[in-house]
Amino acid sequence: MSYTVRIKEEISSIKSNKSEGIAELSGYIRNNGNFQKNSIVMTTENKFVVERIVEMIKDFYSVEAKVEVIENLNFSKKDLYQITLNKDPKMLEDLGIIDSKGNFQKNVPNYLVGGNEEIRGYLRGVFLGTGSINDPKTSRYHMELLISNPEESVFIQKLLNIFDLNAKILNRDKGYMIYIKEAEKISDFLKIIGANNAVMYYENIRIYRDQKNKTNRLNNCEQANMDKVIQTATSQLEDIQIIEDNDGIMLLDEKVKEVLEYRKKYPEASLKELAEIITLETNKSITKSGLNHRLRKIKELADSFRKMNKEK
């Protein structure tokens, strides 16, 4: 069972009051209904969504809902359920789909989504009809709603952004895709539509992924630091070798010679570690900055030998 299916199954069991339920029905029928001459046809692969929609229609209106299992043309093995309703004017006007004259209303009436409960209901209906959310175990966070009507897509985007979800719209060949990419915002959307179990799953996976990514970044950083330490030490050892090959040790003062010997003795130590070792073993305090200064003296002498050998 996909994550989206699990979400839809969960929110299909939510108990709604009448105003919230009517808003949900409106969001579902408006965005999943195929409006024909005398009927409205809706399809879904989710049996529990069918049961919820039919039950709500039965509870709120005296309209018969005919349910059939039809051939699924999407190359899916799942059954495809078709709900057929008579175009009852009273129900459609009540749902804000037509006006009192029977004309289709492009814009959802304000009274239908007058409060937060009704807005949540409307968004729940839209998601049941057209929504999907990637399982957080996958490589990207993504929630989308596919809407055919431009005015409706802008309206739904505004409803989502009432809750600061940063929803955006993309124009597609067959309509408009409203989408959310931010993990925290998708989690907030799930809370808004009442999918509490889906939120817990989502957050657990998200926290695990974020922690894993953080650990990987730290490991990569540590590896990069280690590579830098090795590269620096190798360069310093090469400088020392050139000085020794040219009998140049006598040109260094005693403090620099001491650092030279300790670098040879501890070739894998970082500058910080080497400074601590020298301080501990000689009882003479040396800072990382002081150590670096003496190593620069070694490099300068090595570079002078390199230049001299090149000119020969």
Q: Give the CATH number, domain containing residue 140.
A: 3.10.28.10
For residue 258, being part of any structural domain is answered with yes
For residue 208, being part of any structural domain is answered with no
Contact 85, 57 (CB under 8 A): yes
Residues 177 and 229 in one domain: no
Q: Where are the beta strands (DSSP E) in 142-271?
A: 143-147, 168-172, 175-180
pTM, to two decimals: 0.68
For residue 206, being part of any structural domain is answered with no
Closest to 159 in 3D by CA, of 103, 99, 118 = 118
Give the model confidence (pLDDT) of 34-78 as tens digits.
888 888 898 888 899 999 999 999 888 888 888 888 877 665 667
Contact 27, 129 (CB under 8 A): yes
Contact 146, 168 (CB under 8 A): no
Q: Which helix (H) or strand (E) holds 100?
A: none
Quote the tokens at residue 213.
Answer: 């990514």
Which pLDDT score is estimated for 76? 61
- Number of domain units in the chain: 2
Residues 77 and 159 in one domain: yes
Say how many CA atoms lie within 13 Å of 117 toward its Cβ: 9
* Residue 44 burial (10 A CB sphere; 0-12, 13-18, 19+): buried
Residues 178 and 276 in one domain: no
Residues 188 and 57 in one domain: yes
Expressed as residue numbers, the domain containing 169 is 3-194
- Output the average pLDDT for the chain: 88
Contact 70, 82 (CB under 8 A): yes
Residues 23 and 61 in one domain: yes
Give the model confidence (pLDDT) of 148-187 as tens digits.
989 999 999 999 999 999 999 999 888 899 999 998 999 9
